Amino acid sequence: MISSALGVWNYWVVFLLMMIGLFLVIGRQNFLKKIVGLTIFQTSVFLLYITFGKIKGGTPPILNNINETIYSNPLPHVLILTAIVVGVATTALGLSLVLRINSEYGSIEEEDISAQDLVDYHDQIETSKTVSIKFKK
Amino acid sequence: MTDIIIKNLPILVVLCPLMMSLFVVLIPNTFISWIVTLFTTLITFIFSLLLYQEVYQYSSISYALGNWIPPLGIEYVIDKVSIIPIIIITLISFLTTFFASKIMPAEINNSSISKVYSLWLLAIAGLIGLVTTGDAFNLFVFLEISSLASVALVAMGAQKDKQALVAAYNYLILGAVGATFYVIGVGLLYGITGTLNLADLSSRITEINDNRALVAGFGFMIVGIMVKAAVFPLHIWLPRAYAYAPSAVSVLLAATATKASLYILARILFSVFDISDTLITLTLTYVILPLSIIAMFAGTIMAIYEKDIKRLLAHSSIAQIGYITLAFAIGTKASVAAGFIHMFNHALIKGALFMAITSMSFYLNKRMTINTLSGLGRAMPITFSCFVICSLSLAGVPLTAGFISKLYIIKASISAEGVWIALLILASSALSVIYLWKMIEAMWFHEGPKDLVIKENPTVYIALLMITFLNIYFGLDASIVVNSSFEAADQLLGVQK
């Protein structure tokens, strides 16, 4: 039982990274840390795909005229090249948004930002009345 | 020449906006970049109409990308099902681009307008690609193209209101998590079956029974797509993203973005997996059906208490997505067809409502809330009449498009599940009248400011008139929509039911 569970240790690594990443995305209030979590989460998926494609004792898929060669499947690796590009684009866009948020709000903590937003929202709705408590910096 | 175009239509309909988006970014003049964008969306719309004709001639078109024979290479499949979202996306994007001519410069600096149009085309290309592709991983790439472009578009609203940045950020994070879930699902299915082609995948899945990885993969895929489609508990990103995006972008996203994902949801549920499978039946009855019913009421009630108009419409979108998923969840041929009918009609209705609100905020040059609506009905008779007609359509009053879709959903639910679902749908529609009336009351009966004089501009209201006309036209003669939806449901569900 234990040996069979340890035999697939690479899946355990993927699983652990996936949970760490997802926890950071959900649990952290800091916008930058959320992006770090997202990157870890995506990386765990890359590892999952790469693990699928690798066979024990497999060689790169180049024909070598030896009959009983075991070839690794190259397709998951190619897919992950694409996914890495997508992940880089997502991270870049996310980081640039965080920069802009920081310059507009002066903070990247979710609590500060939602407090400021709440004030703005009520200002817009009740144009005649003023909100008594101001959280503004 | 025409022969080559006809043969390559499935790829042209994606490539046309994709390539033009690279070109548009180079144009410095705002007016010329608008003309080019309009022309591109028009061409794409014509291509999709040609495709419609082709599909009804051959029933299904398969296009092998780079001549790699599927299932080895990437395949683009256009059949009677996928043509419906393609028509929706291209039609709405053309009308919205037409509408954006005056709206866009009012909200965005002249220097960044051509970049916005470039992102605009990129988002459209991503959405069309999402629908045309027959390859599970290619689908993920298009999912990300469209969502990254839409995030950047939403963030452009920051020139007017800084909250757009936070809205875009939340959209990005949730969208990326959703897409990654989808990739995990695809990975697990690939691990079991060894194929990425959706058609091939479905035939190999039927050979496998009782595999736990298959169930896990299915779950990941469905949850990922449900985030993108904003199905009830996963809708958190939607109201803010629609409310703080630049107005023209709100119109485009509200009418098209979730429709493509809903189509993918239907495709995975009914075509990749098999409807007769217990896994699917259980998912439909115990997950999607209850969530849709909650969505119908939660979205409507949130809309009733909302004061910001764009957010109100976004909340109502969540309820309408609930109707569509409800129709899918019932799972008979008639109900799936009803889901597609409502998908088409809701794109028209929500597009029109957002356009009307956008034109009002364009003239007043401020955000629309319940208070700022006062007196606008008398000041802007044309926009107001369009708004009222489309509100009636949303509530499902006879002679409008909304009535047709509600009628078919209710008919299908009565014949499949009994009266109780129909009663719930009627109750939710009745509740939606409350928020619609709240807006109309403010516009017509409330006294506006004394100095409120607005001269309506034809360039702004022509697109609104066109889309309102479509709302009435498809309410009077719905045969085209109804027939193609039933054909689509036939093809999607196969012959077993």
Per residue in B167-226, pLDDT (tens digit) is 999 999 999 999 999 999 999 999 888 888 888 888 888 888 778 888 889 999 999 999
Contact assignment for A100 to B158 by CB distance below 8 Å: yes
Question: Burial letters for A57-87: b for 16+ Cβ neighbours within 10 Å, e otherwise?
Answer: eeeeeeeeeeeeeeebeebbbebbeebeebb
Helices (H) and strands (E) in chain B, counts: 21, 2
Q: How high is the pLDDT of residue A135?
A: 44
- A43 reaches B (C-beta below 8 A): no
Q: How high is the pLDDT of residue A43?
A: 93
Q: What is the 3-state secondary structure (H, E, C) of B216-229?
A: HHHHHHHHHHHHHH
CA dist., res. B223 & res. B192, Å (int): 19
Tokens of A63: 């024909």
Q: What is the pLDDT of residues B6-28, one digit of tens each?
A: 888 888 899 999 999 999 989 88
Q: What is the pLDDT of residues B150-164, one digit of tens each?
A: 999 999 988 888 889
Q: How high is the pLDDT of residue A134?
A: 43
Query: Which of A91-95, B209-213, B376-380, B401-405 tops mean pLDDT?
Result: A91-95
- B140 reaches A (C-beta below 8 A): yes
CA dist., res. B197 & res. B205, Å (int): 12
CA dist., res. B437 & res. B272, Å (int): 42
* Total length of chain A: 137
Q: Are B142 and B34 in contact (CB under 8 A)?
A: no
CA distance A94 to chain B (A): 7
Least confident of A87-96, A127-136, B117-126: A127-136
Section B449-464 average pLDDT: 80
- Please report which confidence band the pLDDT of residue A137 belongs to, taking 50, 70 and 90 as the band edges: very low
Contact assignment for B371 to A52 by CB distance below 8 Å: no
Tokens of B158: 């920051």
Section B76-80 average pLDDT: 88
The mean pLDDT of chain B is 88
Residues of B in contact with A42 (CB under 8 A): 176, 180
CA distance B184 to chain A (A): 6
B92, burial (CB in 10 Å: exposed 0-12, middle 13-18, buried 19+): buried
CATH 1.20.1440 applies to domain A2-105: no
Q: What percent of chain B has pLDDT over 90?
A: 37
Give residues with Cβ within 8 angstroms of B14, minimum separation 6.
B76, B125, B128, B129, B132
Q: How high is the pLDDT of residue A129?
A: 42
Q: How high is the pLDDT of residue A136?
A: 42
Q: How high is the pLDDT of residue A116?
A: 83
Does residue A125 carry a pLDDT above 80?
Answer: no
Q: How far is CA B93 from CA A23, B90, B141, in A?
A: 38, 5, 21
- Which residue out of B72, B153, B162, B361 would a mutagenesis test of the A interface target, given it has the greatest number of A Cβ atoms within 10 Å? B162
Q: What is the pLDDT of residues B379-399, one digit of tens each?
A: 888 888 999 999 999 988 888
- Please report which confidence band the pLDDT of residue A111 belongs to, taking 50, 70 and 90 as the band edges: confident
Does residue B360 carry a pLDDT above 60?
Answer: yes
Question: Can you spell out the DSSP letters for chain A?
Answer: -HHHHHHTHHHHHHHHHHHHHHHHHHH--BHHHHHHHHHHHHHHHHHHHHHHH--TT-B-S---S-TTPPBPP-HHHHHHHHHHHHHHHHHHHHHHHHHHHHHHHS--BHHHHHHHHHHHHHHHH-SSS--S-----
Q: What is the DSSP letter of B197?
A: B
- Please report which confidence band the pLDDT of residue A45 belongs to, taking 50, 70 and 90 as the band edges: very high
- Which residue out of A51, A93, A98, A108 would a mutagenesis test of the B interface target, given it has the greatest number of B Cβ atoms within 10 Å? A93
Helix axes B247-266, B136-155, angle to 10 degrees: 160
Q: Is B60 helix (H, G, I), strand (E, B) or coil?
A: strand
Q: How high is the pLDDT of residue A126?
A: 60
- Give start and end residues of each alpha helix (H) in B25-162: 30-58, 83-107, 113-132, 136-155
Q: How high is the pLDDT of residue A44?
A: 93
Tokens of B301: 């009630």
Section A63-80 average pLDDT: 82
Least confident of A25-29, B35-39, B450-454, B458-462: B450-454
- Give start and end residues of each alpha helix (H) in B230-332: 237-244, 247-266, 278-283, 289-305, 309-330
Q: Are B241 and B252 in contact (CB under 8 A)?
A: no
Does residue A128 carry a pLDDT above 50?
Answer: no
